[in-house]
Amino acid sequence: MSFVRRAATVLAATTALTTALTAALALPALAHVTVQPGTAEQGGFTKVAFRVPNERDNASTTKVEVSFPTDHPLAFVSVKPVPGWKVKVTEGKLPAPVKTEYGDLEEAVTKVVWEGGKINPGEFQEFEVSMGQLPKDVDSLMFPTKQTYSGGEVVDWSEAPKPDGTEPEHPAPLLKLVPAAEEGAATPTATPTATAPAAASAAATPSVAPVAAAASSSDGTARLLGGAGLAAGVIGVVIGLLGLRRRPSA
């Protein structure tokens, strides 16, 4: 086999391997149920979307059940209608009353369920929620979510981040909370929070439930390590080709 043919064969194999590895690195991040945007200001009101991708190629997502925190309950929760989907907002009694600016909160939204619609293979759907007032004494809120498929399978996205920073297999959607910007300072554009008057207006509408209810660092690390590995592989191929080219012919 000539040098040119050998080089072409090696390069083709390397390209196929690189493509496969790149896809393997990207797919896990796309399969998670997440909160968009992933951050909001402590003590404020915000609008978020629970982004639910369908990760099965032989079934559709037919039900999404999001649990709201009861240790740091939200006094105001309202949902945006999604065409083709029915939504049910469930309120429940809290384990213990929680003091808020609006008084002691004894009941709050504990669960929101969307069903009746369909997320087909290769598609995703966003379910928008307006909520507040966000707590000031924690740096994140978890929203465990159950995703039901047309075949009966239920995927439970409820695992908390691991202490070592790595991502669990089924991470719960996580909303990170950051300190509120000082008065007069520019508000970060990546955190589109709603103002208190807007939230109060939302609370006055029938869809509100007034009850006075991750891209992660591990993903970045994994992609960095994967990129380094790919780079090392390409360098190895180049060195091998140069070696073949310099070998004296028989």
Q: 14 is written with which tokens?
A: 């390397």
Whole-number Å distance between alpha carbons of 66 and 147? 9
Q: What is the pLDDT of residue 187?
A: 47
Amino acid at site 67: S
Whole-number Å distance between alpha carbons of 150 and 178? 38
Q: What is the pLDDT of residue 233?
A: 57
**Closest Cα partner for 120 from 188, 59, 170?**
59
Q: Work out the end-to-end distance of the chain between its first and last CA atoms, rounded to an integer number of angstroms.
A: 13
Do 78 and 207 touch, CB atoms closer than 8 A? yes
Whole-number Å distance between alpha carbons of 83 and 250? 72
Dihedral, 235, 236, 237, 240 alpha carbons, nearest 10: 120
Q: What is the pLDDT of residue 12?
A: 55
Whole-number Å distance between alpha carbons of 168 and 160? 7
Find residue 113's DSSP bridge partners.
Answer: 65, 88
User: Angle at Cα 208 formed by Cα 202 and Cα 212, nearest 5°?
Assistant: 95
Q: 72 is written with which tokens?
A: 């740091």
pLDDT in tens, 163-216: 888 889 999 999 999 998 876 555 444 444 444 444 444 433 434 444 433 344
Q: 157 is written with which tokens?
A: 């996205």
Whether the full predicted model's pTM is greater than 0.75, yes or no, is no
Cβ count near 189 (within 10 Å):
7
Residues of the chain short of pLDDT 50, as ranges, are 4, 10, 17-29, 187-225, 234, 237-239, 241-242, 244, 248-250
Q: What is the pLDDT of residue 110?
A: 95
Whole-number Å distance between alpha carbons of 210 and 205? 10
Segment (H or E) for 219? helix 217-246
* 117: helix, strand or coil: strand
Whole-number Å distance between alpha carbons of 127 and 82? 7
